[in-house]
Structure 1
Amino acid sequence: MAWTDERVELLKRYWSEGLSASQIAGKMGGVTRNAVIGKVHRLGLSGRATPAQPKRGCDIGAAPAVVNEPAAPRTFDLEAAEADFIAPTSIDDGDFMTVATMKRNSCKWPVGDPASDDFHFCGDSTGPGKPYCAYHASLAFQPSQRRVEQASTTTARVPGHRRIAG
């Protein structure tokens, strides 16, 4: 179907009346919606502002603003944390624990550079079936990041500080 001058004028009139491309195609007959859109584009007819759609439902007003209160600062008792902290037992400088002198319930925490002559192990006593003393176990066995984040929302964490349930 060719666009005659009469059909172009009819298209312009329908377009200015605000009809949609589908409605124009239906009224004109013998032309598709896409053909109408293409011709409107080639003619450079201005795009029309679509009227605002009416709101559905009832007007309940704006939702109240959510105000996030700052969290109370987390505190901890340093003296209580220090009381729970387990310090390592020091070994005399001449009494190094080596692989040859290590016992079943001695701490296997390496101390120093394995390539040096003064390399040794902690050697402090451990619990049954435990590889490290209490101090080195607190260093070796760190809780997962997820558990740390969960715990930090309730209380502050201090290395060596044990939380007491209750």
Structure 2
Amino acid sequence: MSSWATLKIDEKIEAIREAHAKCSGTARTISEKLFELHGYQVSRNAVIGYYARQAEKLKDMPLCGPRAGENKKPLVRESRTHRPKAVATVNAYAEVIEFVPPPVAMPQSRNLTLMELGHRECRYPVDGEKERTLFCGNATGDDSPYCTYHHKLCHGHGTHSERNIDALLRRVA
């Protein structure tokens, strides 16, 4: 009898197919059947990992959830829906608050070295490595090391609560 680790891919797939046909189709029951039928000590996580790596070859025998006898739904992640970039939300007082990030045009980089940068010039690296790094060099705001474009690029538009702070302050005041 050989061990699970020494089996070839096709032999493992055949063993999983045989075990899947004789059990409920969960990773736990497949691993138990592999031990009963062939003596392979395979963990539940190893079965899940093998299904993940060999998904194309095992797609006709999907893994099922823990209550496979009740409803035999395959454990497949549904595709995520992407929200639009500008999302309208409604707060507790039914005011519609809409956040639309302001468009900021990408500036033309001045390609300055660190020694050439002056006070209030953008320190965003745009090219090079180590001592040959070149920086944007455009004008910055009062309290930022980056120009407006690179500041937005680095910091994003904030969390939902950060974007709605003005409405919250109006409500409290």
Pair in the same fold by TM > 0.5: no
TM-score (norm 1): 0.34
Structure with bigger RCO (C-alpha 8 Å, 6+ apart): 1
